[in-house]
Amino acid sequence: MVKKNDIKHLVVIFIVFLVLTTAIFQQKEIIQKSGEKTRKYAEQIIDINSATFEQLVSLPGIGPTKAKSIINYREKVGEFLSIDDLLNVSGIGPSTLKKIKPFIKIKTANVITNSPSGSEDVKININNASVEELMKLPGIGKVKAQEIIEFRKKFGNVQSFEDLLKVKGIGKKTLEKIKPFIEL
């Protein structure tokens, strides 16, 4: 027969076993959590037009793929003129934009923004401009600037604004953006 003392010992041993296993699992969970890398987000506001890959990855919701997409878009299209232009980047939707908005700004100092009728009017001659000069035009990045130069080499000087529509990557919207800032 089983004695009362034996039952008490078994109950005590069982309780000690439960307490120890619970403590072990909790300790293991604490060790695992402390071993996880916590992502550190941007501590200061980043200019999206000059941000490096590393800076972009430091933004909430932006991983390596989205950071590359932002840089590729910036190189092909040119500088962002507004924060909402990020919605044109593959992988950036309204929810991602909402997450990163407090951490980004747009600085467009390198883009010509003078009014065409202003006294400080500086027009770029589309037939003589270098890649760097062309990149100052709104919506023109390095890739499109190189395409303009390739077009000039292949077909000669641009004779009309409409000729620019034959340049790879330049459509009606881009042409309308740059028209006030260029001359033939």
Instruction: Check whether 32 has a pLDDT greater than 90.
Output: no
Top pLDDT among 92 and 112 is at 92
**pLDDT category, 25, cuts 50, 70, 90?**
low
Domain span including residue 144: 124-183
| Alpha-carbon gap, residue 14 to 45, rounded angstroms | 57
* Angle, vertex CA 58, rays to CA 55 and CA 59, nearest 5: 105
Top pLDDT among 45 and 40 is at 45
| Alpha-carbon gap, residue 127 to 7, rounded angstroms | 98
One domain, residues 52 and 98: yes
Residues 86 and 70: beta-carbon distance below 8 Å: yes
Residue 155 in any domain: the answer is yes
The enclosing domain of 90 has a CATH number of 1.10.150.320
* Residue 27 confidence (pLDDT): 59
Residue 128 in any domain: the answer is yes
Residue 70 in any domain: the answer is yes
One domain, residues 93 and 137: no
One domain, residues 158 and 131: yes
* Residue 43 confidence (pLDDT): 60
* Residue 39 confidence (pLDDT): 53
- SS3 of 101-131: the string is HHHEECCCCCCCCCCCCCCCCCCEECCCCCH
Q: Provide the sign of the torsion angle of the four alpha carbons 26, 29, 33, 34, taken in this order.
A: positive
Residues 50 and 108: beta-carbon distance below 8 Å: no
Instruction: Check whether 181 has a pLDDT greater than 60.
Output: yes
Token pair 């003078």 is found at: 114
One domain, residues 88 and 128: no
In this prediction, what percent of the chain has a pLDDT beyond 70?
Answer: 80
Mean pLDDT in residue range 162-182: 85
In this prediction, what percent of the chain has a pLDDT beyond 90?
Answer: 6
**Beta-carbon neighbour count of residue 159 at 10 Å?**
10
Residue 5 in any domain: the answer is no
One domain, residues 95 and 131: no
Instruction: Check whether 42 has a pLDDT greater than 70.
Output: no
Number of domains in the chain: 2
What angle separates helix 142-155 from helix 64-77, to the nearest 10 degrees? 40
One domain, residues 96 and 130: no
Instruction: Check whether 70 has a pLDDT greater than 70.
Output: yes
**pLDDT category, 118, cuts 50, 70, 90?**
very low
- Grouping H, G, I as helix, E, B as strand and the rest as coil, residue 148 is helix
Name the nearest CA neighbour of 63 among 100, 104, 88. Answer: 100
Task: Note the pLDDT tens digit of each residue in 76-100.
Answer: 877 787 888 888 888 899 998 888 8
One domain, residues 147 and 96: no
* Residue 29 confidence (pLDDT): 52
Mean pLDDT in residue range 98-109: 79
Token pair 């941007």 is found at: 42
Q: Provide the sign of the torsion angle of the four alpha carbons 66, 130, 140, 60, taken in this order.
A: positive
Residue 40 in any domain: the answer is no
Average pLDDT, the chain: 78
Q: Provide the sign of the torsion angle of the four alpha carbons 58, 62, 65, 71, taken in this order.
A: negative
